[in-house]
Structure 1
Amino acid sequence: MVAIDLGSNTIRVLEYDCTSKTVLNSYEKIVKTADKLVNTGEISEESITRIINAIKEAKEKINFNNVQAVTTQALRQAKNKKDVLEQIKNETEVEFKIIEPNEEAYYTTFAATLCLNKHNIQYKNMFLVDIGGGSTELIISNKKELISESFPIGIVTTSQRYKSIEALEYGIRQDTKPFKDFINFIKQTYMPDVFVASSGTPTTIAALKIGLDYKSYDGNKVNGVEVTVADLDEWMDKLLKMDMRHREKLVGIGRGDLIVSGIMIFKEIFRLTGFEKCIVCDMGVREGIAFDYCKNKKL
């Protein structure tokens, strides 16, 4: 089967074999679905073209058989969502389902749980963060419960809202204030004992920490890497001192400005939670879709 997650910044495709429980192939590309959304309220024609081209490119290396395709925050809020999905379907034959934040949290948690199990990381209550292009999901999960809240704060929309580093820093501090009540609630009620993060910013910093760049990126090596605030400060400083060409060689074309927003949001979550370290998992929504499909598939 093929699982596709069209996020607000990146499209991620996974070909997975349910019988052998192995990844057969994968593909991802930055498409900036949420580009200009904060100003227009719509998915732009340029973004639609990037998405369609990426799907066609993915089809060249992956057999699109039994496709389960979902999309998240950017399409949830776009005024032209119906037309966008219809155009994508007409040109690629892929039909996307817009999932709600609680479904997104479920898939992300499913994948993160397997990631921790694979690395023999024991915990009672997992605090999980997914910093996306158009929203940030905060999740608390254990064997009995999954509670999540989605906030319309993402790296693409935030980057396009604030025009300078100073404005970005101040804006993110204000925009993430709504995180505080939810985080205080889970700290008092559940006392989480492990902090986990998936999505592009955490995985990028984890990769840079172990000596990988965008071209040499390996999700299997990133899974389980620990990241601290000191790591975020170190890489923020290094990235800001680089010219954009060098920066994008490390983090990916089109992500040079976004990574700064992502690091700032990530740092605020560290500050609000009081955690000293975070375990990074490359496995996210697309993996959760695949694992969930296979679990429920009637053989």
Structure 2
Amino acid sequence: MGMIGCDLGTNTLRVVEIDCKTRRRVKEFERIVKTGQNLKKTGQISTEAIHNIFEALRDASKIFDFEKHKVKCVTTEAMRLASNSREILQEIRQEFGLDFQIISGDEEAKYTLFGVQNALKVLNQFDNDFCMFDLGGGSTEIIYANKPTPSYKSFPFGILKISEKYNETQALEKGIEHELNQIDPFVLDHDKPKRLIATAGTPTTVCAFLQGVDYKSYDHKRISGQILRRDDFKKAYKQLFALDLSERERFCGTNRSDLIKTGILIVIGLMGKLGFDECVIVDDGLREGVALSLCHFGFI
């Protein structure tokens, strides 16, 4: 039986159908919608973002049978902050029959951890002696799984937020350093585990790029379980931004390369703050955890 999980993030709409027996993906969908674009200035989800979200959901409806399958839909930081989020979610409910729930940062971390743990089991790499980060558009979750009860915290910085706040390269690097100082007390409060897991779009895009795989040819099976070092992210940064825009977008996706630029710099900084020189890349995250929660595995 397939279960569908939908994740409307600050930057991206991601949908997946999971087979409960195999715990593997049946089909998936992803679209950049920039939900949180200009949110800091206006306090609202923009007309352009609303259009992007609805167009993406119409396309997703052609791929997934939302009426015949159990569906769980969540949305995160941008909708948590926007003053018009309730009205937008009501319109989505009326047009698509999809009930998006605004979840807290803690809930986001729990679902993401569940998705990552499942992916590690599928890869035969399961071991809870790890910490992980999920770098989103509007927030970043850091989770320590190396204890009987996982410890997690959501921080109010992400790729889209930082890109809009610090829009020049020099200011961007200093801004990232400033934003990442928020995590110091949380990190210092935990013993360092054996491994670091990195999920979300930037680590997976960099991993694909270093394999010569472009955005349209992306295959999560070639990505999850791969190991990248901090130097790999630095190398990818130099190589990507030596390309012209059209070639760069072939690897990053249309209108996505500036966000990947910010994302790479954040990942390099996060790895340093967390004390790791290498990380395991896992493609699965929030949407997979949401879908798996419907499979009655004793989660939320």
With normalisation by structure 2, the TM-score equals 0.93
The CA deviation string for residues 225-277 of structure 1, in whole angstroms up to 9 with x for no partner, is 11111111111112222232221111111211100111111111111122111
- For 2:273 and 2:23, the matched residues in 1 are separated by 37
| Corresponding position of 2:283 | 282
Shift of 1:220: 1.3
Q: Which residue of 1 aligns with 2:272?
A: 271
1:21-100 maps to which residues of 2 (within 5 A)? 21-64=23-66, 65-100=69-104
Per the TM alignment, residue 121 of structure 1 is displaced from its structure 2 partner at its CA by 2.8
* Alignment match, 1:236: 237
Contact 1:52/1:92 (<8 A) preserved: no
Secondary structure of the residue aligned to 1:177 is helix
What is the Cα deviation at residue 33 of structure 1? 0.8
**1:99-248 alignment, distance < 5 Å:** 99-121=103-125, 123-142=127-146, 144-186=148-190, 190-248=191-249
1:256 aligns with 2:257: yes
For 2:252, give the aligned amino acid. Answer: V
CA contact (8 A) 1:48 1:88 kept: no
- What SS class does the counterpart of residue 257 from structure 1 fall into? helix
What is the aligned residue count? Answer: 294
For residues 210 and 169 of structure 1, the distance between their equivalents in structure 2, rounded to whole angstroms, comes to 26
1:145 to partner: Cα distance = 1.2
Deviations 1:161-215 (A, max 9, x none): 12211111111111111111111212xxx32111001100111111112221111
State the percentage of identical aligned residues.
38
User: Structure 2: how far apart are the matches of 1:112 and 1:51?
Assistant: 26
Whichever residue aligns with residue 229 of structure 1, its letter is R
Aligned residue number for residue 4 of structure 2: 2
- Computed over aligned residues only, the root mean square deviation of the Cα atoms, in angstroms, reads 1.5
Q: Structure 2: how far apart are the matches of 1:17 and 1:114?
A: 12
TM-score, normalization by structure 1: 0.94
Partner SS for 2:295: helix
Maintained 8 Å contact 1:125/1:191: no
Which letter maps to 1:113? Q
Cα displacement (A) at 1:22: 4.0
Distance 1:127 1:98, change over 3 A: same
1:210 and 1:93 mapped to 2: Cα distance?
Answer: 40
**C-alpha contact 2:146 2:193 (8 A) present in aligned 1:** no
1:114-148 per-residue CA deviation (whole Å, 9 max, x = no partner) reads 22223333545211100000011111013621111
| Partner secondary structure for residue 257 of structure 2 | coil
> Do 1:75 and 1:98's aligned partners in 2 also have CA atoms closer than 8 Å?
yes
Q: Deviations over 1:99-128 (max 9, x none)?
A: 111111111111111222233335452111
- Distance (Å, rounded) in 2 between the aligned partners of 1:295 and 1:66: 12
Q: Distance in 1 between matches of 2:271 and 2:23?
A: 34
SS at match of 1:195: strand
Unaligned runs of 5+ in 2: none
Q: What letter corresponds to residue 69 of structure 1 in structure 2?
A: C
